A and B are shown apart, each in its own frame.
Chain A
Amino acid sequence: MDLGNLMASDPTHHFESVPSSRQELTRACLETGTELVQAIANAVFALPSTDDPDGPIVRLPPPTTTLPREKHLPKPKPPTKWELFAKMKGINKHKKDKRVFDEQTGTWKRRHGYDRVNDDKDIPIIEAKLSDEPGEDPFSKRKAEKKQRVEKQEKNQLQNLKQAAKAGALPSHVQLAATALPITGTNGEAPKKASKEELQNVAGMAATATASGGKFDKKLPGEKPAKHAGKYRKFLPVVEGKGMSSQEKQQTAKILDQLMNKSSHGMLDVNKAVTMFNVKKEKQRKKEKEHKTSSAASKLKPKKKSLKKSSKKKH
C-alpha cells in the first residue's frame, strides 16, 4: 500500500472462476476495489488532521513507489573566476546600501541607476596634473576608460557562462547563440552586411535584367517600384513655340555646353573668345564686300593701319 500515491494493490486476489458475463466481472472488481479503497481510507483518516474551512486537511507521507523524473537534476554551476579568487583571498560578500553619500554634490544618492553616485555628469572641473599632455580631453578619457571597463566585464561574463555551459549548468533563462562563424582562411575581412538600400537596388537590377525590363514581374508586398521608370528616351513635342524656353533649344544648348566644357581646358574666357570670334567674322565680311565693289574705290581710301598687336610684333 502506497499512501503517498493513495494506491493499494492486492496481489493475493484470485478469480475462482472466470466470471462469465461482463456485469459479473465488474461487480467482482468493484467489490475487491471497495475493500482496497476502504483500507487506504482507514489509513488516511487515521493520520493527524488539521481543521480548515474547506474540510479536514491531512499531511500525506511521501510516496513509496519511485517514478522516474521528468527532467534531469539541476547541476550545480561552477564557480566564476571572481568567486574562485575571492575564495582564495578570503574576501567575503558584504551587503551594500541602496543610498550612498555622494562627495561630489554633497547629497544622498542611489548607488545605481538614475541620479546615481559618482556619475560622470556631475564632475564640472577636472584639475590638470603635471603628467597630463596639453591636447588631451580628460572627460572623454574618462568615458573611454569606462567603456573599456564595461567591455572587459562583458567579456568576463561571457567566459563564465561558457564555462557553465561546458559543465552543463547554464542558467535556464540564458542562451548562448552564435552570431558569426569564426574567421578562418585567407579572406580576413568578414563579408560586409548589405544595407537596405543596396538590397533594394540589387532587387531592382535583377528585375530589369528580364526581357521585358521587369515591367510584368509580380511585386512582393512591400516592394517599392523601380526607381528608373523604364523610359530611357525623351521625345520632344511635335509642335512647340520658338521662344527662349523651347525644349529643342534647351536640348541643343545643353549638348553644346557639355561639348565645349569637355574640350576646354578651363582657362578659356568664353566672353573674350566670343568677341574675338565676332570681330574676325566682321572683318571677313568687310573684306568680301570690298572685293565685291571696285578696286579703284579702295585706292582712294586711306589704308587703315591695323591696330592688331600681331602687326606690331614685326619690329
Chain B
Amino acid sequence: MLKIKTPKTHRAKREIEKRAPKFVENGKKTLILHGTKTSDVLNTVLTQIYHLKRDNAVKYTKKNENIRPFESGGETSLEFFSLKTDCSLFVFGSHSKKRPNNLVLGRMFDHHIYDLVEVGVENFRPIESFEYDKKLTPRIGSKPFFAFIGEGFESVEELKHLKEVLLDLFRGEVVENLNLAGIDRVFVCTALSSSTVFLTHCALRLKRSGTAIPRMELVEVGPSMDLAVRRHRLPNDSLKKEAMKTTSEQPKKKIKNVSSDVLQGKIGKIYIPDQKVGGITLSSDVKGLKRERREAKKRKVGIENEAKKRKTASD
C-alpha cells in the first residue's frame, strides 16, 4: 500500500524544489567540519575558509568521531549531513601524529562521495597577520580570479586533481554577467614541487593606466598556506561519466504574450499600466515653464512701462 506524500505548505514545497536536480544547477554549498582532534592552526584554517565563503557555507562546531572519509564505512555521516544541508562540497579537518593539520577536501555527487583530496597545511598565515589598507578588503560573494602557476598543475595527477577541487571550492556562483567594478580578489596557487602547492588569497587594486583597461595590483590579504598533497581518491569512471553529463537541449522556455494569427501573423500583447495623472511631479526645466516665465517677465515689464508712461503723462 503506497501513499502519496506532498508538502503541506507552499514554503516547504519551494524549499524542496530548490534542492531538486535541475538542468542548470544552483551554486554548490560547502560543509566545514572537523574530527575528534584538531589543532589550533587547523581551527583557524577552518574558520577563515568559512569567512571566505560566508554566504554559501555551513560550519559545524561539534566533534565528529565516526567520520573517516577514506575508509569505506566512515562516510555515512558525511553523506547524511550533505543530504540534510544540501552541500556538495566539504572540508573536513583533523589532526593526528601521523597526519598533522590534515584537511580533506571532497566533493559529492547525488549526496554520495565523488572524490577526495587529503592535504596537509603548513606555514599557515591567518588574515590577521597581514597588514593592508582596509579599504581593499574583498567583499563577501565577489567572484574571484584564479592564477595557477607551475607546470605541475598540468603534469602531476595529484596536482591536477587539487587544481580542479580548489577551483570548485572557491569559484562561487557561475554567472553570465559580471560587474567590472566588483572585481576584488584573486587566488594565486603555485606548484612548488610535485606534491606541494602554495596558496594565497590577495585583493586586487585597480590602478589607473593610460588605456581603458586598469592596471592590476595584487595585495596579499587573506590566508596563505602551503598545501602538501597526501592522499587522493579519483572517482570511478562510470560515476565520472554520469557527473560530467550535460545536455545540449535546454528546457523549453515559455514565450509569453506572443500568439500567432492566421490573418495577421505573429501578434504580441503589450500591457501598459495606468497613468497616475494626479501624481506626476513637474520638473524644473520644462520648456513650457520657461515660456511661462518669459511671458510673465514680459508682462511685468509691460506694466512697469505703463506705470512710467502714466507717470510721465501725469507729470
Contacts of A44 in B (CB 8 A): 178, 180
Complex contact A37–B21 (CB within 8 A): no
Complex contact B6–A174 (CB within 8 A): yes
Complex contact A69–B180 (CB within 8 A): no
Complex contact A29–B145 (CB within 8 A): no
Q: Say which residue of B6, B114, B147, B154 sits within 8 Å of A11 (CB atoms).
A: B154
- B47 interfacial contact with A, CB 8 Å: no
Complex contact A58–B204 (CB within 8 A): no
Interface size, chain B (Cβ < 8 Å): 76
Q: Say which residue of A33, A37, A55, A177 sits within 8 Å of B180 (CB atoms).
A: A55
Contact with B along A261-285 (1 / 0, CB 8 A): 0000000000000000000000000
Contacts of B218 in A (CB 8 A): 30, 33-34, 37
- A104 interfacial contact with B, CB 8 Å: no
Contacts of B158 in A (CB 8 A): none
Known A55-B182, A74-B21; judge A60-B147 contact (CB<8 A): no
Look across to chain B and name the residue whose beta carbon is closest to the beta carbon of A6.
B145
- A26 interfacial contact with B, CB 8 Å: yes
Known A38-B216, A182-B1; judge A8-B177 contact (CB<8 A): no
- Distance between Cα atoms of A8 and B149 in the complex (Å): 9
Contacts of B2 in A (CB 8 A): 158, 162, 176-179
- B302 interfacial contact with A, CB 8 Å: no
- Distance between Cα atoms of A114 and B192 in the complex (Å): 73
Q: Report B97-136 residues with CB < 8 Å from chain A CB.
A: 107-110, 114, 123
- B67 interfacial contact with A, CB 8 Å: no
- Distance between Cα atoms of A56 and B200 in the complex (Å): 28
- Distance between Cα atoms of A11 and B156 in the complex (Å): 12
Contacts of A45 in B (CB 8 A): 180, 212-214
B contact face: mostly helix, strand, loop, or mixed:
mixed
Q: Report A101-131 residues with CB < 8 Å from chain B CB.
A: none
- Distance between Cα atoms of A22 and B220 in the complex (Å): 13
- Distance between Cα atoms of A250 and B235 in the complex (Å): 90
Contacts of A63 in B (CB 8 A): 174
Complex contact B5–A36 (CB within 8 A): no
Q: Report B134-182 residues with CB < 8 Å from chain A CB.
A: 143-151, 153-154, 163-164, 167-168, 171, 174-182
Known A29-B149, A33-B202, A49-B180; judge A157-B4 contact (CB<8 A): yes
**Chain A interface residue number, banded:** 35 or more
- B183 interfacial contact with A, CB 8 Å: yes
Contact with A along B217-240 (1 / 0, CB 8 A): 110100010000000000100001
- Distance between Cα atoms of A31 and B159 in the complex (Å): 22
Known A26-B220, A34-B217, A173-B13; judge A68-B179 contact (CB<8 A): no
- Distance between Cα atoms of A4 and B179 in the complex (Å): 13
Complex contact A4–B188 (CB within 8 A): no
- Distance between Cα atoms of A37 and B107 in the complex (Å): 27
Contacts of B274 in A (CB 8 A): none
- A206 interfacial contact with B, CB 8 Å: no
Q: Say which residue of A12, A13, A33, A59 sits within 8 Å of B177 (CB atoms).
A: A59
Complex contact B213–A73 (CB within 8 A): no
Task: A7-B145, A68-B114 given; name 8 further pairs at CB < 8 Å.
Answer: A9-B153, A30-B220, A55-B182, A58-B180, A70-B88, A71-B20, A72-B109, A182-B1
Where the two chains meet, the residues of B that have a C-beta atom closer than 8 Å to any C-beta of A are 1-7, 13, 16-17, 19-23, 25-26, 28, 88, 107-110, 114, 123, 143-151, 153-154, 163-164, 167-168, 171, 174-183, 186, 188, 190, 192, 198, 200, 202, 204, 212-218, 220, 224, 235, 240, 242-247
| Closest CB pairs A-B (n = 9) | A55-B181, A172-B20, A68-B243, A9-B148, A7-B146, A33-B188, A71-B21, A36-B147, A70-B88
A-B contact pairs, 28 of them (CB 8 A): A9-B147, A10-B148, A25-B198, A30-B220, A33-B147, A33-B186, A33-B202, A33-B218, A34-B218, A45-B213, A45-B214, A54-B181, A55-B179, A59-B176, A65-B167, A67-B167, A68-B107, A68-B235, A69-B243, A71-B22, A71-B25, A71-B110, A73-B247, A158-B4, A173-B17, A173-B20, A174-B6, A176-B3
